Chains A and B, each alone.
Chain A
């Protein structure tokens, strides 16, 4: 996440001034338009992003906070200000806490194995080998399938009676697991699809970072008698720290907002509840359930959205701090 904002702005852009100076005296109108072009163009070029993000990204997010302070129903004529009412109701709402527990459970099962396996895969891919492109492409291919399709496929693989997962479990002599009806098996199934989809993507990012590590570090370590394992923990991991933190934050933000996977995993009438007992309902699903079909209670849904936002910020910051500490140790 290094930000070298000055790289692209070398002194080379300066000499543009010199051709302008002589013309200034002879052809004033052209120069004026030229100067306006030089001064204003950049702002016009970057404006579309700021305008769009302002209207459709930042404003809605902030406005969510305002809506959350109201009793705001889709159909109701009026939406009175109720202060923190929605929040105090929410904090006593067992369904909300259920969704928080589910989100955290799936988050842990999806994020930690995901990044560890990605690290392993990247380290494995970081060799001289045949069919390099094939292996890299097959690592990335889960990421380009659609989330909805993945959720449907895995929903079938984890089906109780005729699913592949239970069929394979049968060989180990274990009983069939009811993935769809029980909470923890449900978490495992949902995080399996998330992991399947994102391990390869993260691995490629780690791989890119690994390839940027100077090789002589490894050579001198090897001469000093450090084996592969030792090299990995003492060189690769510390050098990967910025990338690790970046990927951790990105997957934290993503995995705490899971929606499509658990929704389609629990296909059927109770889909938005994550099953009849709300086994895999995440906070994002609970927000949707309240704000859109079936309740259309914008105020309450907005309060859910803001608490989720808070949760994301807390966990992302905590994760970044923990990673910084853990991967920093190898250096000293």
Chain B
């Protein structure tokens, strides 16, 4: 849909187009109105560079030796020291990086599976089942999304450290409070109300399906796209969690990968290339997930935004 006005600056462009557009069909004219100009591309390329550079820089430093940080001008291309750095990183007793990686995988996977399951279940109930007080409950759930629960970590720690549980320093202290989120319930409810047809549920009901079987065999398969997005977002959030794991796991010998990173950067040795290798490895799983599923994640965030 080239309009042939690429040489013009944007403002006169916009003023000219409607005149030409009048003769066309409305849909086409709308598109013409929104054509990107070269300036748009320049701006977006600059924005993309600013977004990507720190991540790229992390890999640059992470693949170089430590003294490259003292160079002027600073290095901007990757070096060949990556495996050397990894070796030192894994051997570092303060960081316990491998333990951290493993723990983060366990925590994030457990939380993700649970959040997706329970959110789908509750979302299905809110979208498709009739029960007393459902509107009020949904409102409460939306309200909880705005509650700064981070401010409750002191009693939360007291609960976990109490003699009955004595979960401090253990992974379940990080997992259990996160098993279902208001955001997840709301997101699945929004999706379920339009993705699952009532006829299908009724038909299953008439065939004698119990509510749970309807959920498992009819609703859950239909929710798959939203469940995938929720799963990805949950995995990322959990992977990146910091303050609560820090409070309850502390500087013990059972860190998540973020705590490993924090210990690493707080160390008195200033081996920044080792630290950057750590950040690169800690970001890598998420980056891979993002490269593969980025389109769906963006779709999920944008869909949630319009309906939310």
Which residues of A are in contact with B by a Cβ distance under 8 Å?
Answer: 1-3, 5, 7-10, 12-13, 15-16, 19, 34, 37-39, 41-43, 45-46, 48-50, 52-53, 55-61, 63-64, 67, 121, 124-130, 133-142, 144-150, 152-157, 161-162, 164, 167, 196, 200-201, 204-205, 207-209, 211-212, 215-216, 218-219, 222-223, 225, 227-229, 231, 243, 246, 249-250, 253, 257, 259-260, 263-264, 267-269, 271, 284, 287-288, 291-293, 298, 301-302, 305-306, 308-309, 312, 316
Question: Would B36 and A127 count as touching, CB distance under 8 A?
Answer: yes
Question: Would A142 and B287 count as touching, CB distance under 8 A?
Answer: no
- Which 9 A-B residue pairs are closest in the complex by CB-CB distance? A8-B193, A60-B152, A12-B198, A56-B177, A149-B279, A208-B302, A45-B125, A129-B36, A127-B36
Contact sample, A vs B, 10 pairs, CB 8 Å cutoff: A45-B125, A46-B122, A55-B159, A56-B159, A67-B158, A153-B54, A153-B58, A153-B279, A267-B266, A312-B148
Question: Would A60 and B154 count as touching, CB distance under 8 A?
Answer: yes
Question: Would B305 and A208 count as touching, CB distance under 8 A?
Answer: yes
Q: Which residues of A contact B91 (CB under 8 A)?
A: none
**Contacting B47 at CB < 8 Å: which of A121, A201, A269?**
A121
Point out which of B50, B54, B130, B280 has the most chain A C-beta atoms below 10 A from its C-beta: B54
Question: Would B240 and A146 count as touching, CB distance under 8 A?
Answer: yes
Question: Would A42 and B51 count as touching, CB distance under 8 A?
Answer: no
Among B178-211, those with CB < 8 Å from A are: 179-182, 185, 189, 192-194, 198-199, 201-202, 205-206, 210-211
Question: Would B179 and A48 count as touching, CB distance under 8 A?
Answer: yes
Q: Is B272's beta carbon under 8 Å from chain A? A: yes
Q: Which residues of A contact B23 (CB under 8 A)?
A: none
Point out which of B17, B126, B215 has the most chain A C-beta atoms below 10 A from its C-beta: B126
- Closest CB in chain A relative to B294 CB, distance in Å: 4
**Contacting A222 at CB < 8 Å: which of B17, B194, B301?**
B17
Q: Which residues of B contact A301 (CB under 8 A)?
A: 154
Q: In the bound complex, how far is the Cα of B84 from the Cα of A90, in angstroms? A: 49
Q: Which residues of B contact A196 (CB under 8 A)?
A: 50-51, 54
Q: In the bound complex, how far is the Cα of B126 from the Cα of A316, in angstroms? A: 28
Point out which of A8, A41, A135, A216 has the most chain B C-beta atoms below 10 A from its C-beta: A8
Q: Which residues of B contact A227 (CB under 8 A)?
A: 11, 14-15
A162 and B70 in contact, given A19-B206, A57-B144, A141-B55 (Cβ under 8 angstroms): yes
Residues of A contacting B: mostly: helix
Q: Which residues of A contact B262 (CB under 8 A)?
A: 148, 263-264
Question: Would B155 and A67 count as touching, CB distance under 8 A?
Answer: yes
Among B122-175, those with CB < 8 Å from A are: 122, 124-131, 134-135, 137-139, 141-142, 144, 146-159
Complex: chain A residue closest to B58, CB-CB: A153
Question: Would B122 and A302 count as touching, CB distance under 8 A?
Answer: no
**Contacting A153 at CB < 8 Å: which of B30, B57, B69?**
B57
Question: Would A1 and B34 count as touching, CB distance under 8 A?
Answer: no
A41 and B211 in contact, given A60-B149, A156-B69 (Cβ under 8 angstroms): yes
- Closest CB in chain B relative to A297 CB, distance in Å: 10
Count of A-B contacts with CB under 8 A?
344
**Contacting A137 at CB < 8 Å: which of B30, B124, B180, B290?**
B290
**Number of B residues, CB within 8 Å of A:** 130
In addition to A49-B119, A146-B261, A227-B15, 12 A-B residue pairs with Cβ atoms within 8 Å of each other are A10-B198, A13-B201, A16-B205, A50-B137, A52-B177, A129-B44, A144-B289, A153-B54, A200-B51, A219-B33, A253-B148, A271-B266
Which residues of B are in contact with A by a Cβ distance under 8 Å?
Answer: 1, 10-11, 14-15, 17-18, 21-22, 26, 29-31, 33-36, 40-41, 43-44, 47-48, 50-52, 54-55, 57-58, 61, 69-74, 118-119, 121-122, 124-131, 134-135, 137-139, 141-142, 144, 146-159, 176-177, 179-182, 185, 189, 192-194, 198-199, 201-202, 205-206, 210-212, 215, 236, 239-240, 242-243, 246-247, 250-251, 257-258, 261-262, 265-266, 268, 272, 275-276, 279-280, 282-283, 286-287, 289-290, 294-295, 297-298, 301-303, 305-308
- Closest CB in chain A relative to B57 CB, distance in Å: 7
- Closest CB in chain B relative to A247 CB, distance in Å: 9
Q: In the bound complex, how far is the Cα of B18 from the Cα of A164, in angstroms? A: 46
A229 and B11 in contact, given A5-B138, A144-B286 (Cβ under 8 angstroms): yes
A53 and B182 in contact, given A46-B126, A146-B286 (Cβ under 8 angstroms): yes
**Contacting B125 at CB < 8 Å: which of A10, A42, A253?**
A42
Q: Which residues of A contact B36 (CB under 8 A)?
A: 127-130
- Closest CB in chain B relative to A267 CB, distance in Å: 4
Q: Which residues of B contact A201 (CB under 8 A)?
A: 301
**Contacting B151 at CB < 8 Å: which of A12, A162, A271, A305?**
A305
Q: Which residues of A contact B205 (CB under 8 A)?
A: 16, 19
Q: In the bound complex, how far is the Cα of B151 from the Cα of A259, in angstroms? A: 11
